Chains A and B, each alone.
With several copies, the nearest count.
Chain A
């Protein structure tokens, strides 16, 4: 069986084709999902890609959250469907309350695009199982509103429960609380991160191939559960 991984395109999604390429490189089938679809087309996992859905004019991800396809994604995610939100996708997941916290304007108030070092702090999610604990990755980050915030209780709980999945290393690009680059839900199946693993799948077009592991992780998870 080839795993079917759905990639949602919202109006203004930009990295949907890159995410599909990453999924294919990992050996899975990329299934395009349209924001207006009220159907997930039997996919085994979903990627919410980067971009500027609806221009991100109000708040990043605020309008995309209400797309018809998101209703399905939210209920399937609550039922255990693995979901990965990258950048704008992470923002959509926070706005949808599938993940705690929010992403605000970068501390330096500028968009930042750079090759960023990350540490994998949790390998217990379906999206990170292929990495060694504490693995260091070099992956592009590119965002204007990537500062992760949550109240102290939430942050403490995330740390205590091992739900900080990625942390920025050697410099925090956007002022995120506690250098948090990515988090997951209680069960670990829903992961959101600001950096872009889909842009680090081939050293020809990215700083490394370190991002591919997220897509191979979910593939082996799906094969494992099938």
Chain B
């Protein structure tokens, strides 16, 4: 069964507290060299052969992402 992946990230203008926290923690753990971090969600969907990309996009925009604050990309896993 085909696998599709939907990546959902906060829009760049929305504050991302989790990404900020990771960015803040990295130097304390001795990791330098990271300039920015954003945290989002990754959904792996196992779908039937007939499923069109358009349907996956509809699933993403109605359920998996909230268009007010998030944007998404669809690709095959």
Contacts and interface: CB of A to CB of B under 8 A. Distances in A.
A120 interface: no
Interface string B53-67: 000000000011010
Contacts of A101: 68
A153 to B, nearest CB: 12
Contacts of B17: 55, 57, 104-109, 147, 175
Contact of B22 (A58, A100, A104, A175): A58
B45 interface: no
B25 interface: yes
B28 interface: yes
Contacts of B15: 104, 107, 147, 149, 175
Interface residues of A, number: 24
Nearest to B20: A57
For the residues of A in contact with B, the DSSP-based class is: loop
Nearest to A108: B17
Interface stretch (A18-26, A59-67, A213-221): A59-67
Given A66-B28, A151-B13, A175-B17, A58 B68 contact: no
A134 B64 CA distance: 39
B21 A58 contact: yes
Interface of B: 10, 13-15, 17-18, 21-22, 24-25, 28-29, 39, 63-64, 66, 68-69
Given A63-B22, A175-B15, 15 more contacts: A54-B21, A54-B24, A54-B25, A57-B22, A58-B64, A63-B21, A63-B25, A63-B63, A66-B28, A104-B10, A104-B17, A106-B17, A109-B21, A147-B15, A151-B13
